[in-house]
Every structure is written in C-alpha cells, then in structure tokens.
Structure 1
Amino acid sequence: MTLPAPPRNTAAPLYGWLTDRLAVYLDREPESIDPTVPLAVYGMDSVCALSLCGDVEDEFGIPVDPSMAWDHSTVAALARHLASRGVRVPAGGTRP
C-alpha cells in the first residue's frame, strides 16, 4: 500500500515528527500510518492523545489543549493545526 505524500507547505515537516511520535504510542511502523486516516482507527486512546500533547508542549514550547488530538484527528489535520500556530520543525529535525 502506498500512502499519500505530505503536502509541500509549512505543515509538511510536521508530518514526519507527528508520525514518528504516534508510531511509538500506537506500536506501528511510521510508514503504516496514513496521514488522512483518523487516529482512532489505529487505536489512539486518551493516554496516547495526552502523551502526544505533552510531547508537543515539551518539543515546541507551546501550550496545547488535551483535546487537540481529538479535535484534529488525523496526522494531516494535526500538522495543519500546529503549523497554523507557528510550529516549525527545524531543518535538522527537532529542537536542540
């Protein structure tokens, strides 16, 4: 199965970051997470959602509402939401 490529915009670098984090929490290979499929389909639960929110706060220094992962329920939607809040993944990966 070939997954859709992320768009070439400011949200694109966030796809990889989000997918890598979610793959750990969902016990899946990052390549198996389709950015357009609701994360609940993959088994995301409240623990995963809260952990992801904590990672975003720690990594990017912005407060996020614990409902973020439910309100923006796909990798694509999460990436767009975070990009709209000014989150950017530096060229070398994550923050030092």
Structure 2
Amino acid sequence: MDQLITDWLTEYLSPYFKANDLAVDINTSFDTLGLDSVTRVEMIGALEEAFGLDLDPVLGFEYPTIKSLKQQIIAQEVTHA
C-alpha cells in the first residue's frame, strides 16, 4: 500500500507540480505547490475514497509533503489494523 499511496498522491498533485514548473518530488511541500486549505481537505477526502480509509482532514496540514503524509497514513493504518 506504501507505493500505491505515493503513486496516487504523485498523480493527484501532478498538475500542481506542472503549474509551478517543478519536477515531481515527494519532499516538496504542499505550500510550495500552492495548495490552499480547501485543496488539502479535498485531497484527503479523495484519498479516503480511493483507498477506503478514514482520515482526519487536518493531515494535509500536519504532514505537508507526499512523503510525510504517506508515512503517517501507513503508520495510522498499521495501528488500526
């Protein structure tokens, strides 16, 4: 599931990397990509739907990169399994 989440987030955020003329990097902050609060909450909602997860909407603020968000989701799922 680790790589699936990374791939999903990379694909989801691809337009933001392109709009900012940035190479896709899992350590790029969501701030750098220009994600506002609505976009972050929508991203978490889309993640929930795509993977059947129950996620706190604030995760997009507390874990502001693809890498950190993915790691938290994996850790949370292991804890709840």
Fold-level match, TM-score > 0.5?
A: yes
5+ long unaligned stretches in structure 2: none
* Secondary structure of the corresponding residue to residue 85 of structure 1: helix
Distance 2:77 2:36 in 1: 26
User: In the alignment, which of 18, 35, 41 is matched to residue 28 of structure 1?
Assistant: 18
Distance 2:63 2:2 in 1: 13
The one-letter code sitting in structure 2 at the alignment partner of 1:59 is A
Matched, 1:79 2:42: no
Identity %: 24
The one-letter code sitting in structure 1 at the alignment partner of 2:35 is M
User: In the alignment, which of 32, 40, 65 is matched to residue 41 of structure 1?
Assistant: 32
The alpha-carbon deviation at position 27 of structure 1 amounts to 6.2
Number of residue pairs the alignment of both structures matches: 76
Structure with the largest fraction of helix = 2
Distance 1:62 1:14 in 2: 11
Cα distance change, pair 51–27 in 1 and its aligned pair in 2 (3 A)? farther
Matched, 1:61 2:66: no
Q: Is the 8 A contact 2:27 2:66 kept in 1?
A: yes
Q: Show structure 1 runs of 4+ deviating over 4 A.
A: none
User: In the alignment, which of 8, 33, 38 is matched to residue 17 of structure 1?
Assistant: 8
Task: Report the TM-score, using the length of structure 1 for normalisation.
Answer: 0.66
Task: Report the TM-score, using the length of structure 2 for normalisation.
Answer: 0.76
